[in-house]
């Protein structure tokens, strides 16, 4: 098995009286695709957000091990440092894409690179290449409302990869799609992540989506209940 890229140790997180995570340990390996599954309220989205540095846990550690550099303890970073880590090292795909409707497809993708300091022309060229690779050549100048749900999610996938992120986090990326479009989006997501040696961590309620991943982690009542999670 390859080296772990994300490690979680003893994660606890509560929201008021509700305990979302109750001591989660998890390792995700370089180039692996992992599906996190569980009922509504099980803690699966909270776990994803803590692993990605969006949410800080009440206790526990998350360690990110980027290739070729020293490990980074995500949970020890200040807010600004975690924001920078998310911009530069992580990619994100959400259920509704969270794309900007007033921008075109290529502008939505290029913006993620421009935020990291890439000049507009270079970012736009790179964005067009990513869109073409995902079957959207010819749709670069369309606004998000002019695209189908599946096309919009492929724009979101392209955006998640524009900075060369080694780890992509996806939260219900097919939740709003029909079964055929869902299969097409998962094809694109896997091709652009694990197919290129990157790591994919996704939350899903769909067992067919989870089955496409190399490993499924089950979460219940804030705990990982899958015995294979420490493999």
Judge whether 205 lies within some domain: yes
Q: What is the pLDDT of residue 96?
A: 64
Counting the structural domains of the chain, the total is: 1
We report the CATH number of the domain holding residue 218 as 3.40.50.300
Q: What pTM was computed for the model? A: 0.89
Tens digit of pLDDT for each residue in 157-174?
A: 999 989 888 999 999 888
Judge whether 164 lies within some domain: yes
Judge whether 116 lies within some domain: yes
Judge whether 229 lies within some domain: no
Judge whether 230 lies within some domain: no
| Whether the Cβ atoms of residue 116 and residue 122 lie closer than 8 Å to each other | no
Judge whether 231 lies within some domain: no
Q: Which band of pLDDT confidence, cut at 50, 70 and 90, is reported for residue 226?
A: low
Tens digit of pLDDT for each residue in 48-65?
A: 999 999 999 999 999 999
Judge whether 82 lies within some domain: yes
Q: Of 35-44, 169-178, 222-231, where does mean pLDDT reach its minimum?
A: 222-231
Residue 201: give the domain boundaries.
4-224
Q: What is the pLDDT of residue 6?
A: 96
The rounded distance, in Å, linking the Cα atoms of 43 and 173 is 17
Q: What is the percent of the chain with per-residue pLDDT over 70, rounded to a whole number? A: 95
Q: Is the pLDDT of residue 135 over 80?
A: yes
The rounded distance, in Å, linking the Cα atoms of 229 and 215 is 8
Judge whether 167 lies within some domain: yes
Tens digit of pLDDT for each residue in 177-205?
A: 888 888 888 998 999 899 999 999 999 98
| Whether the Cβ atoms of residue 229 and residue 6 lie closer than 8 Å to each other | no
């Amino acid at each position: 098995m390859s080296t772990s890229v994300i490690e979680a140790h003893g994660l606890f997180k509560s929201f008021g009286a509700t305990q979302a995570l109750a001591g989660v340990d998890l390792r995700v390996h370089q180039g692996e695709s992992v599906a996190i599954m569980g009922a509504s309220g099980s803690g699966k989205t909270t776990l994803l957000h803590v692993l990605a540095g969006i949410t800080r846990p009440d206790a526990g550690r998350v360690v990110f091990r980027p290739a070729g550099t020293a490990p980074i303890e995500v949970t020890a970073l200040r807010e600004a440092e975690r924001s920078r880590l998310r911009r530069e090292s992580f990619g994100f795909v959400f259920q509704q894409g969270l794309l900007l409707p007033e921008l075109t497809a290529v502008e939505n993708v290029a913006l993620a690179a421009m935020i990291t300091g890439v000049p507009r022309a270079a970012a736009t060229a790179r964005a067009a290449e990513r869109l073409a690779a995902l079957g959207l050549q010819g749709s670069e100048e369309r606004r998000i409302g002019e695209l189908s749900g599946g096309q919009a999610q492929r724009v979101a996938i392209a955006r998640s990869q524009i900075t060369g992120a080694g780890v992509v986090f996806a939260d219900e990326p097919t939740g709003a799609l029909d079964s055929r479009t869902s299969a097409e989006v998962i094809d694109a997501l896997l091709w652009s992540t694990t197919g290129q040696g990157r790591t994919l961590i996704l939350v899903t309620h769909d067992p067919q989506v989870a089955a496409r991943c190399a490993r499924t982690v089950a979460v219940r009542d804030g705990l990982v209940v899958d015995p294979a999670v420490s493999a």
